[in-house]
């Protein structure tokens, strides 16, 4: 198939620090092209998928992502998401999506009250999203978490609705795929590592797939399937047109 | 401004009577108060190196790879393919002892600025930390704060902190050590130096506003001993803002890479004073600084306060008139203040102006270069002995259970896993990390190149206390050995020399001895010293720390894919020990943990053997003959073996918290079955099996090799002493001596002991 590469945009806030890693990760996929989107701009430059990267957007001395949510670029990202565009928030990007109201719930301080950088196993709970379509349900992805506020929480009613609507995309699990206390690095409700919105086009996750796309690095390649899913989905949409 | 710059005022600022007289001579009479304040900082120990300069000349500092040696913000080493590495280590001991979180955080911020000031993108941080014993609540508070501060600042910047080292000894109780090391990648044609030039060019201050924080940080904190007034010194500690620093990194690198600045210098100790005087002195030009143009946090600051404030996240740049608009545009885009505060002149004077009035007029070169040089007559301390201890069974009773002695050592804070600390650091950001913390060295690839780089840091303060010459020499040898265990070629050193009060003869002797040891080892290993820092006055209530000359080392790979780690890989692999057959009680962790003693004389590194060991070991790794390699350090041979077994439980170099997680390739830990031969054949072991197991000696490495590659390995090693110890097998570590069992311990038990540090925090 010789279709044009899928166009990714990586948002750059002044305190983003995984923007370059996300850019680099996407550039390892032959089927993708990537460009940066500056936080003070409003032009999404015709990208087909937006990545909100990890980092500390505006310092995050206040609640993480609380200021980023009001940035010029986010107004365009919100419009883009509402019109069905694919948006993936990683770590600080997840926090920002939650602040922006594009995803339910909130991310609070880790139960250990420390920043935690650790390899975790992520169990794929649903493949019915543009972000996990290239995975198998129950598949384990080995990816690094690194955050201080990754403890996902949501009110019981919304949680019930999210479960009913299959919005829990990734859960922390042990190497056997079981939910155990030791496998959850931050105390997240029901071991939730990643969720999507009802329309399934907005996805947030705390672990960092962009640091797990190259087998020769310590991070391994456990994150590739997530980017591949986005590329496959968007290519299929192009073909369908 | 009515403050007089009398002798009394000078002494209050930490100057001596002689120094005051010298200042009056340079200035041609009583200086202004601003001038006096500037001199007091620039001539403080921290800024002037007045006690250390005469001794540091002993270091080798040049070589074919060295693009920049000492004297700049950081040393720079060519690592091939047009890439170079800028590296430096700096102490932030006293601020951290007063306020651990901010002290450590701003230590990271300061060293990172030294790296990007030269145009390099910071790519790694490592931190060497020393505290008192963890049984003391204050020490746990300090550890928690320091690690948290490093994590806070480094993680926010997006610079991976890939390890470091942490040791606990009573001598650091009143004076912890925080040595922050950083390195960055730079294209060899992009290097910027801190030399002002071009009469009429603008002097531009970029970054944070200037406040009263950190006033006297360098002179008040770093150049004095601690006493009961510790708490009162809190206002002298700076407060860090990593978000602003992150913006500064991006803006400054853009300015440098677009060639929009003539030169750049960060504002560190002594703030605007040191940066402006160093830039003008190196450039043989004058600078006019209009202190009233400096953006302030507090409106009523005096000019001398503005000049010596150590507010963080500020940079000074020299910019031409044509380029100032572009510089402003870049800074505006990053929401950073950018203020023209002065200009380059041909006066060769550092002149400070305050609303049109000249408040200081100092010959820049004399200020920067004419600080007094002091060489304290050295005195060999009385506690130093010339002979190793006689290991008498009455004084050192033999342990009944050697397995229990091993687990006790593994649980000792100096040996136990520091996972608790390094899991708080982002060690993976920037997507170059090939080896995460916990093994012998940090390994990074260079993107779009086969090449790679590695970093290690080392110093055994106890060894340096017992013999500063041998201890410092061994620190260099071990830092290099750690790099070679990962397969890298050691090429350069940055050092942080932490000592007590240099006005005391015994301390000065320790300092001279340590420098000599470092110099000899660096010469033998061909690793010049390219940058560093001296930290004196590490004393509290008159008690000095162990002399702690921390060595940070850079290694390079032509092909980074050859790198190995310390983990045993496969059942059946052969375990081989390379190097010296020696194991001493003197200064060992075993001596401290099992007997509560620190005494004797540590063994001397045989540099000829060390060089041969490192060359052969690297050749074997480059030929891809080895599965793993690990240095034998604290805890001796048996702890090294245990660490290799424990590391086998990691997949891809990282361990899971989850006890049910897969171990090694076939899903479990790997044990080992080794025979130590005869204790009588081991120098220093006095025929005792426990010493053969736990005694320490330099120049020893444990490697594993697939059985079919043992022959080729033998060939590579040639005449280097080496011996097959046993095999990787099972899930227990079993040690025998000439067939007689010494102990068998399940690796799971070793792991529990090794990971037990959090239980004591």
Give the tens place of pLDDT for each residue, B498-522: 999 999 999 999 999 999 999 999 9
Backbone angles phi and psi of B304, in degrees to 5? -65, -35
The radius of gyration computed from the CA coordinates of chain A, to the nearest angstrom, equals: 16
Of B63-72, B190-199, B226-235, the poorest mean pLDDT is in B226-235
A118–B658: do the CB atoms touch at under 8 Å? no
CA distance B534 to B501: 12
**Annotated catalytic residue, options A18, A64, A91, A135:** A91
pLDDT over 80 at A77, yes or no: yes
Instruction: Determine the distance from the C-alpha atom of residue A218 to the mean position of all C-alpha atoms in its chain, rounded to a whole number.
Output: 20
**Range B62-191+417-534+545-562 has CATH code 3.10.150.10:** no
Residue pLDDT, tens place only, B700-742: 999 999 999 999 999 999 999 999 999 999 999 999 999 999 9
CA distance B89 to A148: 27
Would you list the domain boundaries of chain A?
6-240
B402-410+565-760: CATH architecture: Alpha-Beta Complex (3.90)
Domain B7-51+192-369 has CATH 3.40.50.920: no
Residue B28: pLDDT band with limits 50, 70, 90: very high
Task: Domain A6-240: give its CATH architecture.
Answer: 3-Layer(aba) Sandwich (3.40)
Residue B319 tokens, joined: 């910019």
Delimit the domains of chain B by residue range: 7-51+192-369, 62-191+417-534+545-562, 402-410+565-760
pLDDT at B589 over 90: yes
A24 included as an active-site residue: no
For residue B658, is pLDDT > 60?
no
What is the end-to-end Cα distance of chain A in Å, rounded? 15
pLDDT digits (tens, 9 = 90+) for B52-72: 999 999 999 999 999 999 999
Identical fold for domains B7-51+192-369 and B402-410+565-760, yes or no, is yes
Task: List CB contacts of B685: < 8 A, sequence separation 6 or more.
Answer: B582, B583, B584, B679, B691, B692, B695
Residue B124 to residues B81, B428, B443, B479, Cα–Cα distance (Å): 19, 10, 10, 17
With the C-alpha atoms ordered B244, B249, B254, B260, is the resulting torsion angle positive or negative?
Answer: positive
Task: Give me the mean pLDDT over the B294-320 stretch.
Answer: 94
- Determine the pLDDT at residue B657: 39
Q: Does B156 touch chain A (CB under 8 A)?
A: yes
> Distance between CA atoms of A104 and A198, rounded to whole angstroms?
9
Residue contact A14–B424, C-beta within 8 A: no
Phi, psi of A195 (to 5 degrees): -135, 160
Q: Is B189 exposed, middle or buried, given 0-12, 13-18 or 19+ CB atoms closer than 10 A?
A: exposed
Q: In what order do the strands lie in the sheet with A116-124?
A: A32-38, A6-12, A49-52, A86-90, A202-205, A192-196, A168-173, A116-124, A140-147
Whole-structure pTM over 0.90, yes or no? yes
How far, CA to CA in Å, does B336 sit from each of B208, B296, B314, B546, B688?
Answer: 7, 14, 10, 43, 65
Task: Tell me which chain B residues have a C-beta less than 8 angstroms from the C-beta of A211.
Answer: 428-429, 431
Separation of CA A236 from chain center: 21
Residue B217 has pLDDT above 70, yes or no: no
Average pLDDT over residues B219-228: 68
Q: How far is A199 from chain B (nearest CA, A)?
A: 31
**H or E stretch covering B745:** strand B740-746
Selection from B572, B673, B593 nearest residue B636 by Cα: B593
B163-174: pLDDT as tens digits: 899 999 999 999
**Chain A contacts to B (CB-CB under 8 A):** 14-15, 17-18, 20-21, 24-25, 40, 55-56, 58-61, 114-119, 121, 142, 144, 146, 174-176, 180, 182-183, 185, 208, 210-211, 214, 216-220
* B529, B70 contact by CB (below 8 A): yes
> Is B397 buried (19+), middle (13-18) or exposed (0-12) by CB count in 10 A?
exposed
Beta strand extents in B510-590 (DSSP E only): 529-535, 539-540, 543-544, 548-557, 574-579
pLDDT at B433: 96
Residue B649 has pLDDT above 90, yes or no: no
Hey, is B728 helix, strand or coil?
A: strand
Task: Give the residue carrying structure tokens 């990683």.
Answer: A90
Average pLDDT over residues A159-184: 94
Q: State residue B218's pLDDT score.
A: 60
Sign for the pseudo-dihedral over CA of B491, B496, B500, B503: positive
What pLDDT, on a 0 to 100 scale, did the predictor assign at position B650?
A: 65
What is the model's pLDDT at position B654? 36
Question: Among the options B22, B46, B152, B202, which is catalytic?
Answer: B46
* CA angle (B471, B630, B130) in 5-degree steps: 45
Q: Is residue B659 very low, low, confident or very high in pLDDT (cuts 50, 70, 90)?
A: very low
| Residue-level pLDDT at B216 | 67
The pLDDT score that the predictor gives to residue A181 is 85
Given an 8 Å threshold on Cβ–Cβ distance, is A118 in contact with B657?
Answer: yes
Statement: residue B543 has pLDDT above 50: yes
pLDDT over threshold 90, residue B685: yes
Average pLDDT, chain B: 93
Query: Which of A10, A24, A112, A219 would best serve as a mutation to test chain B binding (most B beta carbons within 10 A)?
Result: A219
The per-residue pLDDT for range B131-140, each reduced to its tens digit, is 999 999 999 9
Percent of chain B at pLDDT exceeding 70:
95
pLDDT at res. B233: 67
The predicted pLDDT at position B219 comes to 58
- Which pLDDT does position A96 carry in this prediction? 98
Q: What is the pLDDT of residues B594-636, one digit of tens each?
A: 999 999 999 999 999 999 999 999 999 999 999 999 999 999 9
Asked if the Cβ–Cβ distance from A216 to B151 is below 8 Å, we say no
Listed range (A61-70, A163-172, B337-346) with the worst mean pLDDT: A61-70
pLDDT band at B2 (very low <50, low <70, confident <90, very high): low
pLDDT tens per residue across span B551-585: 999 999 999 999 999 999 999 999 999 999 999 99
What pLDDT does B303 receive? Answer: 93
Q: Rounded to the nearest 10 degrees, how much is the dihedral formed by the CA atoms of B114, B119, B125, B127?
A: -20
DSSP 3-state assignment of B567?
Answer: coil
Residue B41 and residue B27: Cα distance in Å, rounded?
Answer: 16
Is A91 part of the annotated catalytic residue set?
yes
Q: Do B661 and A21 touch (CB under 8 A)?
A: no
């Amino acid at each position: 198939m010789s279709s044009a590469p899928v166009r990714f945009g990586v948002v750059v806030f002044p305190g983003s620090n995984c923007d370059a890693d996300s850019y680099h990760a996407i550039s390892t996929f032959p089927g993708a092209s990537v460009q940066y989107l500056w936080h003070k701009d409003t032009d999404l430059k015709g990208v087909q998928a937006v990545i909100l990267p990890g980092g500390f957007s505006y310092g995050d001395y206040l609640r993480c992502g609380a200021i980023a949510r009001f940035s010029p670029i986010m107004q365009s990202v919100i419009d883009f998401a509402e019109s069905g565009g694919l948006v993936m928030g990683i770590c600080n990007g997840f926090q920002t999506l939650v602040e922006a109201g594009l995803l339910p719930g909130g991310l609070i301080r880790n139960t250990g009250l420390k920043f935690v950088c650790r390899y975790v196993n992520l169990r794929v709970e649903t493949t019915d999203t543009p972000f996990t379509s290239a995975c198998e349900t129950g598949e384990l992805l080995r990816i690094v978490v690194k955050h201080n506020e990754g403890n996902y929480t949501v009110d019981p009613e919304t949680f019930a609705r999210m479960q009913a609507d299959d919005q829990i995309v990734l859960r922390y699990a042990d190497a056997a795929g079981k939910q155990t206390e030791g496998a959850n690095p931050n105390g997240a409700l029901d071991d939730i590592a990643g969720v999507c919105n009802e329309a399934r086009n907005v996805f947030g996750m705390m672990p960092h797939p962009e640091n797990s796309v190259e087998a020769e690095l310590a991070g391994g390649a456990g994150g590739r399937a997530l980017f591949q899913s986005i590329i496959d989905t968007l290519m299929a949409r192009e073909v369908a047109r | 401004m009515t403050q007089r710059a009398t002798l009394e005022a000078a002494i209050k600022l930490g100057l001596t009577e002689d120094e005051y007289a010298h200042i009056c001579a340079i200035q041609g009479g009583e200086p202004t108060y601003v001038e006096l304040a500037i001199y007091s900082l620039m001539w403080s120990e921290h800024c002037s190196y007045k006690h250390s300069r005469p001794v540091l000349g002993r270091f080798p500092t040049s070589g074919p790879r060295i693009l920049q040696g000492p004297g700049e913000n950081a040393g720079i080493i060519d690592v091939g393919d047009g890439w170079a590495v800028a590296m430096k280590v700096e102490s932030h001991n006293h601020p951290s002892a007063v306020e651990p979180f901010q002290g450590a955080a701003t230590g990271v911020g300061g060293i990172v600025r030294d790296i990007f000031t030269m145009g390099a993108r910071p790519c790694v941080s490592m931190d060497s930390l020393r505290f008192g014993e963890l049984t003391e609540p204050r020490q746990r508070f300090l550890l928690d704060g320091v690690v948290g501060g490093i994590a806070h600042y480094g993680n926010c910047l997006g610079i991976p902190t890939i390890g470091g080292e942490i040791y606990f000894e009573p001598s650091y109780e009143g004076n912890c050590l925080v040595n922050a090391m950083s390195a960055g990648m730079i294209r060899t044609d992009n290097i910027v130096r801190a030399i002002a030039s071009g009469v009429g060019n603008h002097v531009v201050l970029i970054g944070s506003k200037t406040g009263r924080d950190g006033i006297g940080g360098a002179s008040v904190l770093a150049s004095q001993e601690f006493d009961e007034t510790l708490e009162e010194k809190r206002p002298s500690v700076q407060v860090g803002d990593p978000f602003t620093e992150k913006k500064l990194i991006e803006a400054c690198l853009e300015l440098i890479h677009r060639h929009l600045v003539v030169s750049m210098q960060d504002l560190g100790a002594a703030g605007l004073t040191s940066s402006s005087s160093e830039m003008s002195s190196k450039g043989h030009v004058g600078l006019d600084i209009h202190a009233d143009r400096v953006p302030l946090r507090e409106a009523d600051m005096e000019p001398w306060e503005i000049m010596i404030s150590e507010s963080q996240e500020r940079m000074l740049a020299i910019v031409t008139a044509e380029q100032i608009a572009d510089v402003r545009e870049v800074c505006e885009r990053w929401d950073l203040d950018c203020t023209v505060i002065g200009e380059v002149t041909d006066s060769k004077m550092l002149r400070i102006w305050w609303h049109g009035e000249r408040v200081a007029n100092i010959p820049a070169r004399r200020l920067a270069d004419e600080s007094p040089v002091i060489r304290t007559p050295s005195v060999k301390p009385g506690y130093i002995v010339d002979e190793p201890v006689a290991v008498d069974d009455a004084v050192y009773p033999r342990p009944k259970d050697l397995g229990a002695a091993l687990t006790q050592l593994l649980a000792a804070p100096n040996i136990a896993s520091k996972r608790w600390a390094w899991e708080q650091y982002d060690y993976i950001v920037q997507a170059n990390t090939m080896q995460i913390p916990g093994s012998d060295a940090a390994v990074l690839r260079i993107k779009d190149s086969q090449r790679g780089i590695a970093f290690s840091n080392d110093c055994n303060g106890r060894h340096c206390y017992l013999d500063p010459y041998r201890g410092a020499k061994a620190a260099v040898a071990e830092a290099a050995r750690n790099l070679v265990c990962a397969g890298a070629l050691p090429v350069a050193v940055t050092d942080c020399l932490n000592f007590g009060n240099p006005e005391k003869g015994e301390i000065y002797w320790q300092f001279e001895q340590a420098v000599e040891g470092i110099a000899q080892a660096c010469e033998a290993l061909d690793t010049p010293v390219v940058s560093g820092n001296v930290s004196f006055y590490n004393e509290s209530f008159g008690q000095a720390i162990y002399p702690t000359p921390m060595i940070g080392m850079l290694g390079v790979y032509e092909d980074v894919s050859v790198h190995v780690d310390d983990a045993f890989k496969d059942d059946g692999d052969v375990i081989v020990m390379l190097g010296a057959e020696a194991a001493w009680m003197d200064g060992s962790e075993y001596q401290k943990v099992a007997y509560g003693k620190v005494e004797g004389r540590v063994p001397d590194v045989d540099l000829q053997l060390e060089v041969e060991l490192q060359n052969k070991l690297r050749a074997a790794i480059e030929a891809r003959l080895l599965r793993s390699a690990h240095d034998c350090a604290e805890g001796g041979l048996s702890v090294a073996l245990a660490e290799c077994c424990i590391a086998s439980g990691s997949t891809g170099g990282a361990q899971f918290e989850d006890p049910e997680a897969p171990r090694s390739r076939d899903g479990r830990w790997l044990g080992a079955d080794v025979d130590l031969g005869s204790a009588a054949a081991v120098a220093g072991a006095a025929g005792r099996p426990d010493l053969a197991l736990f005694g320490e000696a330099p120049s020893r490495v444990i490697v594993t090799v697939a059985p079919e590659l043992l022959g080729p390995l033998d060939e590579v090693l040639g005449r280097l002493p080496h011996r097959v110890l046993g095999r990787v097998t099972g899930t227990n570590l079993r040690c025998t001596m000439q067939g007689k069992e010494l102990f068998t311990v399940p690796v799971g038990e070793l792991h529990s002991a090794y990971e037990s540090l959090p239980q004591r925090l």
